[in-house]
A and B are shown apart, each in its own frame.
Chain A
Amino acid sequence: MDSRLRGQDVPVEHDSNEPWAQGGESSLTPAQLNLTRLFEQDQQRQQKNMPAKAAEQAPDGTAKGKPRLLLMGQRRSGKSSISSVVFHKLPPSETLFLESTARIQKDELPSFMDFQVWDFPGQIDIFENPTFDIDAMFGEIGALIWVIDAQDDYLEAVARLNVTILNLQRTYPNIKIEVFIHKVDGLSDDYKLDIQRDITIRIQDELSDNGFENAPVTFHLTSIYNHSIFEAFSKVIQKLIPRLGILEAMLTNLCRTCRFEKAYLFDVTSKIYIATDSAPADMTSYEICSDYIDVIIDVTEVYGSWPRSEKHREGLEGSPWNQKLEDQVASNWAESCMVLSDGNKPIILREVNKYLALVAIMKEDSYDKMPLVNINVEVVVQGLEEFFDITKPK
Chain B
Amino acid sequence: MPPDVRNEVKKPKKKKVLLMGKSGSGKSSMRSIIFSATIDIDLSHVKFLGNLTLNLWDCGGQEAFTENYLTQQRVHVFSNVGVLIYVFDIESRDVERDMATYVSIISAMVQYSPTAKVYVLIHKMDLITMHAREAVFVDRVRLVQQKTAEFTQASGFNSELDLIPFATSIWDQSLYKAWASIIHDLVPNLSVIESQLGSLGTIIEAEEILLFERTSFLVVSSWTSEEGLGNPTGDRQERMSNILKHFKQSISRFTGTPRNAEQFILMEHKAGPRFSMFVCKFTTNTYLMVVLPPGEARFNSARFNCQIARESFKFLDGPTPGQGQSGRA
Contact flag A299-B240 (CB < 8 Å), given A341-B264, A341-B265:
yes
Interface of B is mostly: mixed
| Most A-side CB within 10 Å, residue of B270, B274, B297 | B274
The answer to whether the Cβ of B321 comes within 8 Å of any Cβ in the partner chain is no
A329, B247: Cβ atoms under 8 Å?
A: no
Residues of B within 8 A of A299 (CB): 240, 243, 269, 277
Residues of B within 8 A of A367 (CB): 266
A306, B230: Cβ atoms under 8 Å?
A: yes
Residues of A within 8 A of B312 (CB): none
| Most A-side CB within 10 Å, residue of B227, B269, B296 | B269
Residues of B within 8 A of A302 (CB): 231, 233, 236, 239-240
Separation in Å of the B169 CB from the closest CB of chain A?
12
B215-273 interface with A by 8 A CB criterion? 227, 230-233, 236, 239-240, 243-244, 246-247, 250-251, 253-255, 257, 261-273
The answer to whether the Cβ of A105 comes within 8 Å of any Cβ in the partner chain is no
B278-300 Cβ-contact flags toward A at 8 Å (1 or 0): 00000000000001011111100
Contact flag A339-B270 (CB < 8 Å), given A299-B240, A321-B295, A325-B294:
no
Separation in Å of the A298 CB from the closest CB of chain B?
5
Residues of A within 8 A of B296 (CB): 328-330
Complex CA gap A86/B13 in Å reads: 49
Residues of A within 8 A of B317 (CB): none
Taking a contact as CB atoms closer than 8 A, the residue among A295, A326, A342, A351 that contacts B255 in the complex is: A342
B243, A298: Cβ atoms under 8 Å?
A: yes
Residues of A within 8 A of B98 (CB): none
B264, A332: Cβ atoms under 8 Å?
A: no
Taking a contact as CB atoms closer than 8 A, the residue among B205, B254, B266, B275 that contacts A288 in the complex is: B254
Chain A residue with Cβ nearest B207: A303
A330, B273: Cβ atoms under 8 Å?
A: no
Task: Of the listed stretches A50-58, A148-156, A232-240, A308-316, name the one at the interface; the rest are far from the partner chain.
Answer: A308-316
Complex CA gap A120/B123 in Å reads: 39
B253, A284: Cβ atoms under 8 Å?
A: yes
Task: Of the listed stretches A2-10, A159-167, A195-203, name the one at the interface; the rest are far from the partner chain.
Answer: A2-10
B269, A285: Cβ atoms under 8 Å?
A: no
Complex CA gap A12/B270 in Å reads: 16
A328, B294: Cβ atoms under 8 Å?
A: yes
Residues of A within 8 A of B264 (CB): 338-341
Separation in Å of the A361 CB from the closest CB of chain B?
9
Taking a contact as CB atoms closer than 8 A, the residue among B247, B266, B291 that contacts A291 in the complex is: B247
Separation in Å of the A4 CB from the closest CB of chain B?
10
Q: How large is the interface on A (under 10, 10 to 19, 20 to 34, 35 or more residues)?
A: 35 or more
Complex CA gap A331/B250 in Å reads: 28
Complex CA gap A303/B228 in Å reads: 9
Complex CA gap A23/B275 in Å reads: 33
Residues of A within 8 A of B239 (CB): 298, 302
Chain B residue with Cβ nearest A328: B295
Taking a contact as CB atoms closer than 8 A, the residue among A10, A334, A340 that contacts B270 in the complex is: A334
A316, B205: Cβ atoms under 8 Å?
A: yes
B231, A296: Cβ atoms under 8 Å?
A: no
Complex CA gap A338/B230 in Å reads: 28
Chain A residue with Cβ nearest B271: A6
Taking a contact as CB atoms closer than 8 A, the residue among B208, B261, B274 that contacts A341 in the complex is: B261
B291-314 Cβ-contact flags toward A at 8 Å (1 or 0): 101111110000000000000000
Taking a contact as CB atoms closer than 8 A, the residue among A10, A298, A303, A342 that contacts B273 in the complex is: A10
Residues of A within 8 A of B230 (CB): 306, 308-309
Separation in Å of the B173 CB from the closest CB of chain A?
10
A343-391 interface with B by 8 A CB criterion? 344, 351, 367
Contact flag A312-B270 (CB < 8 Å), given A303-B291, A329-B295, A341-B263:
no
Residues of B within 8 A of A10 (CB): 272-274
Residues of B within 8 A of A329 (CB): 270, 272-273, 294-296
- Listed from nearest, the 3 A-B pairs whose CB atoms lie closest are A328-B295, A338-B267, A342-B255
- Beyond contacts A295-B247, A329-B270, A334-B270: 14 other A-B pairs, Cβ-Cβ < 8 A, are A10-B273, A288-B250, A291-B247, A292-B250, A296-B269, A299-B243, A309-B227, A321-B295, A330-B296, A331-B270, A332-B273, A337-B266, A337-B267, A340-B254
A sample of 26 cross-chain residue pairs with beta-carbon separation below 8 angstroms, ordered by A number, consists of A6-B272, A7-B271, A284-B254, A285-B254, A288-B250, A288-B254, A292-B247, A292-B250, A299-B243, A301-B233, A303-B231, A303-B271, A306-B233, A309-B227, A316-B293, A321-B297, A325-B295, A326-B273, A329-B270, A329-B273, A329-B296, A334-B271, A334-B272, A338-B266, A338-B267, A340-B264
Chain A residues with a Cβ under 8 A of chain B: 3, 5-8, 10, 12, 284-285, 287-288, 291-292, 294-296, 298-304, 306, 308-309, 312, 316, 321, 325-326, 328-342, 344, 351, 367
